[in-house]
Amino acid sequence: MDIKKEIYELKDELIALRRDFHQHPELGFQEFRTQEVLERYLIDCGLEVKRIAKTGLVALLKGDKPGRTLLMRSDMDALPIVEENDVPYKSVNNGVMHACAHDGHMAMMLIAAKILSKKKEQLQGNIKFVFQPNEEDAGAKYMIDEGVLDNPRVDAAIGIHLWSPIETGKIGIAKGPLMASSEYFTIKIKGKGGHGGAPHASIDPIICASSIVQQVQQIQSRKINVISEPTVITFGSIQGGDFPIIIPESAKLEGSIRCLHGNLDKIKELFERKIRCQCESDETTYELTYKCGNRLLSNDPEITELVEGVAAKVVGEENIKSDVQDMLGEDFSEFSSNVPSCFYFVGIANKEKETDYFHHHPKFNIDEDALFIGVEMHVRAALEFLTN
């Protein structure tokens, strides 16, 4: 049967699944209802289903012939956002919203799993349908630590993100670095507190902190090649003191370093050098700590070429965009750091339907026509990988 026709016959089911997930969003590692809905559906498809990483799932489809194993991933979690959309399927969980398309990702993967489960005789190998919790904060690592890449060992991984910066009907794919690594930093600066009218008797950590913010910007503009080493350093929080006539004892700065290249250690070395030199100049001391947000997501050339070939069949070569690299982070990087992978974007932007709000916006929504493209991409990519 024609794949497009198979998907179209499941049209109502696809839309209903997406809207149900959207209406019942759950935060990371709290996706209990979501897990149950997914589990029942996958078992009904005849798959071997296992709970993993607290609220995650992995469903195994074994082909009739031996071969490689492909991992296909969907994220599950929603965000702590009050939804502003006026739609029948608006979130019933006040303050929680699917504002990053994970509801669509789950629906697409379920329909793809149903279609592919009926094609076991064609498959030379296996498919692991992985539903990952807590994508917004490092859920993939928990799945890998619990063995999602083993038994059977995964040979390649593919992931889709519905993407509002791209118009519906277009697909964004790029070989090599696609989404940036992110390190979240905290800098604690210690000076000497005192009276605001006698600053000479103090060591002002706020003056030092403001100088660090300015000095660090030279790294991006003067110390690196912005073409070969795209880097963004952002300060998102400065805290120091709580009274206008008192110089505080300490100040704290927080922010992120994002790199669309593999030289993060170099950037961190330059970053700390700026901090150290400024603190020495201002006679303060400092403490610098990091928390890893995401690793660099870099696409494997061979797997990406396979997906590009599938995309050409689904939307046409003229609708494939390659200039889609982004400084945002993505937890799929944990998979791509372990096995050859391809992560790519399926456009959902339609101004008339008001689906062009950026991700994490309270009015974010999906052009549901894009869901059919995502399902077809999943099905065709899996068949291509496991039959050729």
In this structure, the answer to whether residues 187 and 119 fall within a common structural domain is: no
**Are residues 180 and 327 in contact, defined by beta-carbon separation less than 8 angstroms?**
yes
Are residues 165 and 213 both part of a single domain? no
End position of a domain, from candidates 263, 294, 325? 294
Residue 75 is part of a domain; what is its CATH number?
3.40.630.10
The three-state secondary structure class of 360 is coil
**138: confidence class by pLDDT, cuts 50, 70, 90:** confident
| Whether residue 353 sits in one domain with residue 225 | no
The 10s digit of each residue's pLDDT in 190-221 is 999 999 999 999 999 999 999 999 999 999 99
CA 227 to chain centre: 23
CA distance 279 to 208: 7
pLDDT class of 137 with cuts at 50, 70, 90: confident
Pairing of strands 176-179, 156-167: unpaired
pLDDT band at 315 (very low <50, low <70, confident <90, very high): very high
Placement of tokens 């277009």 in the chain: 170
Assess whether 209 and 339 both reside in one domain: no
Q: In the chain, how many domains are there? A: 2
Helix H or strand E encompassing 12: helix 11-23
Tell me whether residue 77 is one of the annotated catalytic residues: yes
Residue type, 88: P
Which residue in the list 31, 103, 135, 204 is annotated as catalytic?
A: 135
21 and 119 co-located in one domain = yes
Q: Are residues 188 and 73 in the same domain?
A: no
- Point out the catalytic residue in the list 77, 103, 204, 308: 77
| pLDDT mean over 298-327 | 98
- In 203-327 the beta strands, taken as DSSP E runs, fall at 231-239, 246-247, 250-259, 285-294, 297-299, 320-321
Same domain, 283 and 230: yes
Q: Check pLDDT > 70 for residue 53.
A: yes
Over residues 12-42, the pLDDT tens digits come to 999 999 999 999 999 999 999 999 999 999 9
C-alpha span between 388 and 385 (Å, rounded): 6
| DSSP label at residue 152 | T
pLDDT-based confidence at residue 148 (cuts at 50, 70, 90): very high
Please state, in angstroms and as integers, the Cα–Cα distance from residue 353 to each residue in 33, 107, 350, 357, 363, following that order: 29, 20, 5, 10, 12
In this prediction the pTM is 0.94
Domain that holds residue 240: 181-294
Sign (positive or negative) of CA dihedral 376, 60, 75, 254: negative
Res 1 pLDDT > 80: no
Which amino acids are annotated as binding site, given as ranges? 100, 102, 136, 161, 360
Does 282 lie in the same domain as 355?
no
Q: Which amino acid is at 98?
A: H
* Strands 124-132 and 65-75, sheet pairing: parallel
Cis peptide before 340 (omega within 30 of 0): no
Shared domain for 288 and 215, answered yes or no, is yes
Query: Quick one: 324 and 197 in the same domain?
Result: no
Distance CA 103, CA 111 (A): 13
Q: Are residues 79 and 166 in the same domain?
A: yes
Of 277, 294, 311, the last residue of a domain is 294
Residue 175, token pair as written in the block: 């070989």
Choosing from 267, 294, 321, the residue where a domain stops is 294
pLDDT digit string, tens, across residues 231-268: 999 999 999 999 999 999 999 999 999 999 999 999 99
Are 246 and 305 members of one domain?
A: no
The annotation places the binding site for Mn(2+) at 100, 102, 136, 161, 360
Average pLDDT, stretch 91-97? Answer: 97
- pLDDT score of 85 more than 90: yes
Task: Please give the radius of gyration of the chain, using alpha carbons only, rounded to the nearest integer.
Answer: 24
Q: What is the mean pLDDT of the chain?
A: 97
Catalytic, 64? Answer no
